[in-house]
Homo-oligomer: A and B are copies of this chain.
Amino acid sequence: MATLVTGLRCLVCGATHAHKNILTCPKCGEQGILDVEYDFDCLAARFTQTRRDSLQRDIWRYCDFLPVSSDVPLPPLHIGWTPIYDVPRLAKAVGISKLFLKDDGRNPTNSFKDRASAVGVMKAREFSFDTIACASTGNAASSLAGLSAAIGLKSYIFVPQRAPEPKVTQLLIFGATVMRVQGTYEQAFDLCTQACEEFGWYNRSSGINPFLVEGKKTAGLEIAEQFGKNIPDWVVVSVGDGCTIGGIGKGLQEMKRPGVLDRVPRLLGVQAEGAKPVLEAFKSRKDLVPTGTNTVADSIAVGTPRNWRRAIQQVKASTGDMIAVSDEEILDAMRLTARLGGVFGEPAGVAGVAGLKKAISTGIVKPDESAVVVITGNGLKDIQSAKQAAGQAIDIEPKLEALQRALRK
């Protein structure tokens, strides 16, 4: 079936452009993030209950909602349709009546970013590129490396110096060429953009590529379908570049048209205290001012977010809110989420749990409301942070008496 994409609309000037290989609005330059638009009448007619029952349970059930061509083979990895868990003990600890976790660390390369990379490699193929590149603090990179390996596309990855070793190793094992840039994420991002222009590579950087956020949208589509009319009051998402919460918000909104949702839940965007420019722009109602970054949650340590407009638009459209949490609160959430929810998330992955707890204590979220937190990455991706949160093993000799002594302590 033909794609239902009708065009690409600039989030700054509102101009619409044809669906083709462009990154940002030609009129507004790099600030002009583009949003993919669809024929929603046709989409709603296609996405009927009968048809839904027969669709596969991964992100490709949403092909009609995505800018992908049916001429390009789908990547073989199983992406999305990640599990949702009801976690009453964690709900109690956080102070809310009903809490769910959606574990997106269960994706093939263990993060939410696989949703975006899957669409990225499809677009690279559609536009006849044989090489794809991205700049990333880590997860988008490992994800792109994994998806590229799965379909046989060459990948170049630009990572900032502080990217955690497990993430770098993960992308090297997938055969990506990895450039560790002696500088910040922003410098890695700029170098990647230049390199794509210079060498004719496809640019997957999700901050600006208009198609990537559509992949992220699938998490919102899924949340809507998985809960249906029982959708919680709040959907809680950690915020770095802004495209994850922007994509999830878009997906939730789009599920009103086929009648899957009556109402869109409120979005709670959670940033780290040490990197909260989107929160500042949201509160001040002014344009974003870039900041430095200082947080244990490397996946949301973005000082110059590209997709802040989309994030703020979606939070406002949902009558949602934003909040920031300290590293200490994040590490505490890491323990709580693992011990009471059975899910081991990386720092950015559990920042939503920390943010929800804080939002309840400050009155933004009411204790009798319900929420789902999207866990965006697996804790194995950042063992150094986990170690800070986890505590210590007890060293003992292999003797029962040694164990008895240790237990008495």
Contact = CB atoms under 8 A, between A and B. Distances in A.
Given A179-B403, A344-B173, A400-B191, A378 B110 contact: yes
Nearest to A390: B172
Contacts of A378: 110, 380
Nearest to A187: B398
The 8 closest A-B pairs by CB, nearest first: A150-B342, A78-B83, A172-B390, A187-B398, A175-B339, A380-B380, A178-B393, A183-B398
A338 B78 contact: no
Nearest to A85: B76
A334 B338 CA distance: 29
A400 B165 CA distance: 24
Nearest to A399: B191
Interface stretch (A277-285, A296-304, A381-389): A381-389
Interface in A112-156: 146-147, 149-152
Contacts of A77: 83, 85, 342-343
A41 interface: no
B76 A180 contact: no
A40 B406 CA distance: 47
B194 A400 contact: yes
A73 to B, nearest CB: 11
B182 A397 contact: yes
Interface string A80-97: 000101110100000000
Nearest to A190: B398
A169 B386 CA distance: 7
Contacts of A159: 393
Given A76-B85, A87-B76, A173-B389, A109 B403 contact: no
A151 B88 CA distance: 10
Counting every copy of the chain, the complex holds: 2
A407 B191 CA distance: 14
A380 B170 contact: yes
A166 B344 CA distance: 12
B87 A393 contact: no
A391 interface: yes
A127 B103 CA distance: 30
Contact of A146 (B75, B342, B398): B342
Contacts of A386: 169-170, 173
A174 B390 CA distance: 8
Contacts of A404: 198
A22 interface: no
B174 A392 contact: no
B335 A390 contact: no
Contact of A400 (B87, B170, B198, B395): B198
Residue of A343, A397, A406 ringed by the most chain B CB atoms within 10 A: A343
A181 interface: yes
A380 B110 contact: yes
A391 B283 CA distance: 45
B182 A398 contact: yes
12 contacts: A75-B342, A76-B85, A78-B106, A146-B342, A150-B342, A166-B166, A174-B338, A182-B396, A182-B398, A191-B403, A194-B400, A195-B403
Contacts of A194: 400
A375 to B, nearest CB: 11
Given A173-B338, A175-B339, 14 more contacts: A78-B85, A106-B106, A110-B110, A110-B378, A146-B342, A149-B340, A166-B166, A172-B392, A173-B390, A181-B397, A182-B397, A183-B397, A380-B380, A380-B381
